[in-house]
Amino acid sequence: MKLLFVADPLDHFKVYKDSTYAMMRAAERRGHRLWACEPQDLSWAGGVVRALAREVRLLPLTPAEEHAPKPAWFELGSPQALDLTAVDAVLMRKDPPFDQDYLYATYLLELAERAGARVYNRPQALRDFNEKLAIARFPQFTVPTLVTSQEAAIRAFLAEQGDIVVKPLNAMGGTAVFRLRRGDANIGVTCEVLTRHGQTAVMAQRYIPEISAGDKRVLVIDGAPVPYVLARIPAPGETRGNLAAGGRGEARPLTPHDREIAQTVGPVLKAAGILLAGLDVIGDWLTEVNVTSPTCFREITDQTGFDVAAMFMDALERKVAEG
């Protein structure tokens, strides 16, 4: 197959833990050709969506070399204007924030899809499943939650719950996630900053004490869960388990309740055209549905031996074969 990865700059990848890199390695082992571009390389003219893309050749790396600050892991061919319908699959792997530029990229990808390109995850699904708000589709698995731009509503929610987490709707990696308790001296400034003085909606959720045991990432591929989760355990003094915020990743088997959540959410995601998602579960509660660029492939594989990237490639190859 000929695969186009729409992603962040390749030289920014931390390859020892990057899931897109793991996908590329798995695809290369199967003889697939790899191309890459960034969202700003997409264009539409004459009714055709093209990407100014380069073919990617992967270079061998030892485990020690993977941990180098800037490992030389790829070589790029000359830029070429690729019609997206001429590749077998387009994989949208750009990290959030889901900002205006990201939105425009989904529109272009959707135009390509209408012309016959295969895009994963589907552009419409990337728009429909806001990673925070998507939990509203599954209220049986969620803690008390509020979405609002109004400080008074957040204060009332805090008074009712006693201990909450407040976070933006478009970020990732634990960015700008705040914990507030009754009587906290920073309630006002936190609300002002996150809501931009009442102009931007945010999410508030009841604090889940089980975060101390880890914020579990449950990967769902083509509607089916990976049999292991990555529990991201907060660093001392932190309330966020995100690896980007200093959390420690520990792979564990799915619990029966993790599986119940995944088997409920998975078919909904599959029907929407989401080939890969990462469910965030704290204790028994679903807190996010990540669909933009879910990660944790490497950590689960390295700790358990289960090849997550191979499971993903199996699913991708099936999708392409099905047409």
One domain, residues 58 and 103: yes
pTM (predicted TM-score): 0.93
One domain, residues 65 and 89: yes
Q: Which pair of structure tokens corresponds to residue 26? A: 């798995």
User: Looking at residue 23, which CATH number applies to its domain?
Assistant: 3.40.50.20
- Look up 288 and say whether it is catalytic: yes
Task: State how far the Cα of 132 lies from the Cα of 258, in Å rounded to an integer.
Answer: 18
- Look up 182 and say whether it is catalytic: no
One domain, residues 71 and 162: no
Amino acid at 219: L
Is 154 inside any structural domain?
Answer: yes
- Look up 163 and say whether it is catalytic: no
User: Looking at residue 227, which CATH number applies to its domain?
Assistant: 3.30.470.20
Is 221 inside any structural domain?
Answer: yes
Is 133 inside any structural domain?
Answer: no
Considering only CA atoms, which of 83, 26, 34, 84 is closest in space to residue 55? Answer: 34
Is residue 245 predicted with pLDDT exceeding 80? no
Is 136 inside any structural domain?
Answer: no
- Look up 216 and say whether it is catalytic: no
User: Looking at residue 149, which CATH number applies to its domain?
Assistant: 3.30.1490.20
Is 278 inside any structural domain?
Answer: yes
Is 127 inside any structural domain?
Answer: no
Q: Which of 217, 222, 242, 299 is catalytic?
A: 217
> 89-147, pLDDT tens digit by residue?
999 999 988 899 999 999 999 999 999 999 999 999 999 999 999 999 999 999 999 99
> 208-239, pLDDT tens digit by residue?
999 988 999 999 999 999 999 999 998 776 66
Residue 186, domain extent:
144-207
Task: State how far the Cα of 277 lies from the Cα of 226, in Å rounded to an integer.
Answer: 11
Is 128 inside any structural domain?
Answer: no
Is 129 inside any structural domain?
Answer: no
Amino acid at 311: M
Task: State how far the Cα of 65 lies from the Cα of 301, in Å rounded to an integer.
Answer: 18
Is residue 153 predicted with pLDDT exceeding 80? yes
Strands 178-181 and 202-206: unpaired
- Look up 155 and say whether it is catalytic: no
How long a stretch of residues is the chain?
323
Count how many domains the chain has.
Answer: 3
- Look up 290 and say whether it is catalytic: yes
Amino acid at 41: D
Q: Which of 94, 131, 290, 298 is catalytic?
A: 290
> 43-82, pLDDT tens digit by residue?
999 999 999 999 999 999 999 999 998 899 999 999 999 9
Considering only CA atoms, which of 191, 209, 68 is closest in space to residue 143? Answer: 209
Residues 6+ apart with CB under 8 A from 104: 39
Q: Which of 222, 258, 288, 299 is catalytic?
A: 288
Average of pLDDT values for 274-303?
Answer: 97
- Look up 160 and say whether it is catalytic: no
Q: Which pair of structure tokens corresponds to residue 116? A: 């016959």
Residue 84, helix vs strand vs coil: helix
